[in-house]
Amino acid sequence: MRQPKFKDVNVTCPHDCPDTCSLVVTVDKSTGKAVKLKGNEEHPITKGFLCNKVNHYLDLVYNKNRILYPHVRVGPKGKKGKFKKVSWDHALKLISQNINKNLKEYGGDSIQPYSYSGTLGMLGYWGMSERFWNKMGAARLGRTICIAAASTAGIYTYGAACGPAIDEVPNNDLIILWGTNIVSTHVHMVPFVEEAKKKGAKIICIDPRETRTAALSDWHIQPKPGTDAALALGMMNEIVKNRKHDLAFLKKHTTGYREFLDKILPKYTLDKVSRITGVKKSDIKQLAFEYGSTKKTYIRPNYGL
C-alpha cells in the first residue's frame, strides 16, 4: 500500500495571545517542511478562525531573509560595519571566551542577561537559562521591558484572577469595551460580541479614539486621554448615590470600602468628572445608571486604560 506523502499535525500558536489558537499544519513528509496551515475548526473559541498574522505564518517561517545562523561583526561599528556567517561552534567559543574574560576581570555583575518571552514556551521563558546565570552570579533582569507595569497594576486592581472568558459574552445584557480595540487586536472576541448584539445586548465602547470597535458598538464614549480613572470614579459615585451598589459584596470581599464610599467618591461629582474627562454630565449619569441597573454585565478592559 502506498504511503501518503503528507501528514497533518495539530499544534498551538506560540504567540503572546490569550486565545491559544489550535492550528492544523500540513507537512510534506519527504522534505519535512510545512506546506499548509489553517485553524482547527474543532477549537471551541477560535473555531478555525486565525488572525491575519498567523494566517501567513509560513511566509515568515520560510522567508529567505530569516537569520538562521550566528553572524559576527567584522570591521567597525556603525554604517560601515559588516557581518559574516560563522559556525555555531565558533560563535559559542567567542561568547564563552568573552564571558570568562569579564568574570575574571570584573565579576558576575558585569554580565547582564537580556531576554524576554520569545515565543512564550514555558521552558524558554522561565527556566532554561536561569540556573546558568544564577550559577555564574550574573546581574538580575527585572523583565520589565514589556507589560510588567500593566500586569502589576492589573493585579492591584482586579486581583490575580484574569477575568471572564470571552465565550461568556453572549450571556450578558451589557458589554463594556473599555480602552480596547477588539476588532483590530482581539479578533476572536468579535463573533461573541456580535452574537450578544443579536440577542439584544447593548455594546458600549469607551475610548478617546475613533476605532473599528467604536463603529461596532451601540454607544461610543470618548473621555480625554488619561482620564479613565476619573470617569470610573464618577460612575461609582452615581451608582452609590442611587444605591445601585452591592454593599454585602463590598463588606465581604473588599478592604477600605467604607472610607472609599464616604470620603473618596463624594469628591467625584458630575461637574468635576465632566471637567476632567470632557464627557457630558448626562452621559456619565446615563453610563452609571445603565451599568448599575444591569446585573448581567461584562467589562473588557485593556492596557489602553
State pLDDT tens for residues 132-180: 889 999 998 777 766 777 778 778 877 776 678 889 999 999 999 999 9
Question: How does pLDDT run across 234-261, given as a tens digit for each residue?
Answer: 999 999 999 999 999 999 988 899 999 9
pLDDT class of 1 with cuts at 50, 70, 90: low
Lowest mean pLDDT of 125-134, 196-205, 216-225, name the range.
125-134
pLDDT of residue 224: 97
Contact of 70 with 85, CB cutoff 8 Å: yes
pLDDT band at 120 (very low <50, low <70, confident <90, very high): low
Strand order of the β-sheet with 219-221 is 219-221, 202-206, 174-178, 297-301
Q: Is the Cα torsion angle 120, 125, 128, 133 positive or negative in sign? A: positive
Task: Tell me how far apart the alpha carbons of residues 32 and 28 are, in angstroms, rounded to a whole number.
Answer: 5
Quick one: cell of 184?
483590530
What does the pLDDT read at residue 28? 95
- For the chain, the average pLDDT equals 90
Give the relative orientation of helices 270-277 and 281-293 as an angle to the nearest 10 degrees.
110
281, burial (CB in 10 Å: exposed 0-12, middle 13-18, buried 19+): middle
Per-residue confidence band for 17, with pLDDT thresholds at 50, 70 and 90: confident
CA distances for 61 relative to 64, 66, 68, 149, angstroms: 9, 8, 10, 32
pTM of the model: 0.78
Examine the pLDDT at 119 and tell me if it is beyond 80. no
Q: How confident is the model at residue 124 (pLDDT cuts 50, 70, 90)?
A: low
Q: How far apart are CA 259 and CA 249, in angstroms?
A: 16
> Does residue 91 surpass a pLDDT of 90?
yes
Left if phi > 0, otherwise alpha if psi is -120 to 50, otherwise beta: which for 98? alpha
Report d(CA 144, CA 184) in Å as an integer. Answer: 25
* Separation in Å, CA 142 to CA 117, 130, 279: 13, 13, 38
Decide: 27 and 7 in contact? Cβ < 8 Å.
Answer: yes
